[in-house]
Structures are given as C-alpha cells and as structure tokens.
C-alpha cells in the first residue's frame, strides 16, 4: 500500500472538511472563513474619524474633536470593527478563555480592510510590530494574545502578498518595562500619565512600520509607541487594530 499517498490525500480531505468548507464560527457550510450570517453579526467601524478611526456620529468625513485639537503622531489608522457585540465577545474569549480559534476570523476581517486600503495605491509597510502585554500578564494567561494575533496576521499576509509581505518577528522590538493597571479602568488623563516610561524600543526599526494591537481604546498606548518608533528611526507608522472603542466621554 502506498502510505505516502494515502496520508497526504486523506489529511487534505479531512483538513478541507474541517476547516476550509465551513464557517469558522458556526460550522455551517461556507467557502469563506465566515459565512454570510456570521459576517453580518459584526459591527463595522464605518462612521469614523479619518485620522484616528474614533467612531463618530456624523455621516461625513469630519475629523473628530480630539484630532482637531492635536493630530495623532501616526500616519495611517485602520480599525475595521467596533469593539462591541460579537467582536468584543470573541476578543474576550481569546484573552480570558484561551479560545485561540477565534483569532483567525478576526484577522481575516482585518486583512480585508488592509487589502482595501493598500491595494495597488498605497505602499505596504515593510515591518509588522505588535504591542506586547507585560510579562506578568503573559505568565498569568500562558500566552501573549497580541503576539499570537500578529503571527496569524503575518501568515495571512504572506499567503496573500508573498515576497511583498512585511517582515515580522515573534519578539517585538517594543518592550513593556512596568506593569500598569488595565487601561480601560482609567480616565484619558490618567491613561496618558500611565504610558510615560512604560514602553521602550530595542532593535532594528524599518522606515515604514505597521504597529499592531488588538483593540484601540483612547489611543494613548499606540500614540506613545508611535512616538518611540519614530524616535528609533521610523518615518511612517501605520496603526493596524482589529477594533476601536468610542471614548467614554463621547
């Protein structure tokens, strides 16, 4: 018997049956990662400030109040989903219940937004850098969710873009130097104070980088990391996040 042939064809059949022809969330037959029913359950961040992607209520391209007062230090911000409903549920399940299987559908949705933005008109960044959790939190949870997500993001872009895919290292050049209270428990002012001296950058930084995080809340973490990356040599920093929350004060 030709075991080689048997194993590869059977494994491929099982793989196709398990993963490719099913929706990742509800397991209904689907040629895409998500069936149309599950895709419709996400709240897309369509009404947002063009600079910082903060969800806004107007139906025009109005820049939000905060960006009018002071423009963000990053150059591009892409945040396809609102942090609520199904998105919030899946990200919490990944973070607190180790349900890593939900990373793929969220990263697929982010990649769709990235392809729509960069397409043939904008140059892709040449390096993906993720915002890491503190070593203590990683130890508590057993993994760093942003690193897992960034790895999935890199693998997906590698399949789509081949040689054009940005470089990626599992060791983020951004290091967290002190443990801080969870950002969502603090006011905007406290959050900014809280960021001072929390992160540092070690290692080579490309001229055009993509800075990845799972959720963008006030934006203060990503703003301080952008400033550090620019100090370390980046000329352009593009923010890539799965979801954006509106400010508490909005």
Q: How do strand 127-130 and strand 167-168 relate by DSSP bridges?
A: parallel
Pick between residue 128 and residue 239 the one whose CB is nearest to Zn ion: 239
192 lies in the site for Zn ion, by CB under 5 A: no
Closest to Zn ion by CB, 81 or 206: 81
**26 or 200: CB nearest Zn ion:** 26
Residue 13-52 contact track with Zn ion, rule CB under 5 A, x = bound: ----------x-xx-x------x--x----------x-xx
Strand-pairing partners, residue 239, are: 77, 211
Residue nearer to Zn ion on the CB measure, 38 or 229: 38
Among 48, 64, 144, 222, binds Zn ion (CB under 5 A): 64
Q: Which of 22, 41, 44, 67 binds Zn ion (CB under 5 A)?
A: 67
The interaxial angle of helices 220-231 and 188-195, nearest 10 deg, is 30
Strand 174-176 and strand 199-201: the pairing is antiparallel
Q: Residue 158 and residue 107: Cα distance in Å, rounded?
A: 13
Using CA atoms, how far residue 57 sits from 52, 76, 217, in Å, is 14, 21, 17
Q: How far apart are CA 216 and CA 56, in angstroms?
A: 15
Rg (CA), the chain: 19
Contact segment (CB under 5 A) with Zn ion among 60-68, 105-113, 115-123, 148-156 equals 60-68
Interface with Zn ion by CB under 5 A: which residues?
A: 23, 25-26, 28, 35, 38, 49, 51-52, 54, 64, 67
């Amino acid at each position: 018997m030709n075991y080689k042939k048997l194993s590869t064809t059977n494994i491929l059949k099982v793989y196709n049956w398990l993963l490719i022809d099913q929706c990742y969330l509800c397991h209904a037959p689907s040629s895409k990662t998500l069936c149309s029913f599950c895709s419709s359950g996400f709240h897309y961040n369509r009404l947002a400030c063009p600079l910082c992607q903060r969800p806004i209520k107007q139906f025009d391209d109005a820049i939000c109040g905060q960006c009018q007062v002071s423009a963000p230090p990053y150059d591009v911000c892409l945040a396809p989903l609102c942090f609520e409903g199904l998105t919030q549920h899946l990200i919490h399940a990944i973070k607190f219940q180790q349900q890593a299987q939900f990373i793929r559908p969220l990263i697929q949705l982010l990649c769709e937004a990235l392809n729509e933005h960069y397409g043939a008109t904008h140059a892709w960044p040449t390096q993906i850098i993720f915002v890491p959790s503190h070593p203590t939190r990683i130890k508590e949870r057993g993994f760093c969710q942003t690193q897992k997500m960034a790895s999935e993001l890199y693998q997906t872009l590698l399949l789509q873009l081949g040689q054009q895919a940005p470089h990626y290292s599992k060791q983020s050049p951004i290091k967290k130097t002190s443990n801080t209270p969870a950002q969502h428990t603090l006011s905007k002012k406290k959050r900014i104070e809280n960021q001072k001296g929390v992160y540092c950058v070690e290692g080579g930084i490309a001229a055009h980088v993509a800075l990845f995080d799972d959720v963008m809340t006030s934006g203060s973490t990503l703003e301080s990391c952008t400033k550090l990356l620019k100090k370390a040599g980046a000329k352009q920093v593009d923010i890539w996040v799965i979801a954006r929350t509106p400010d508490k004060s909005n």
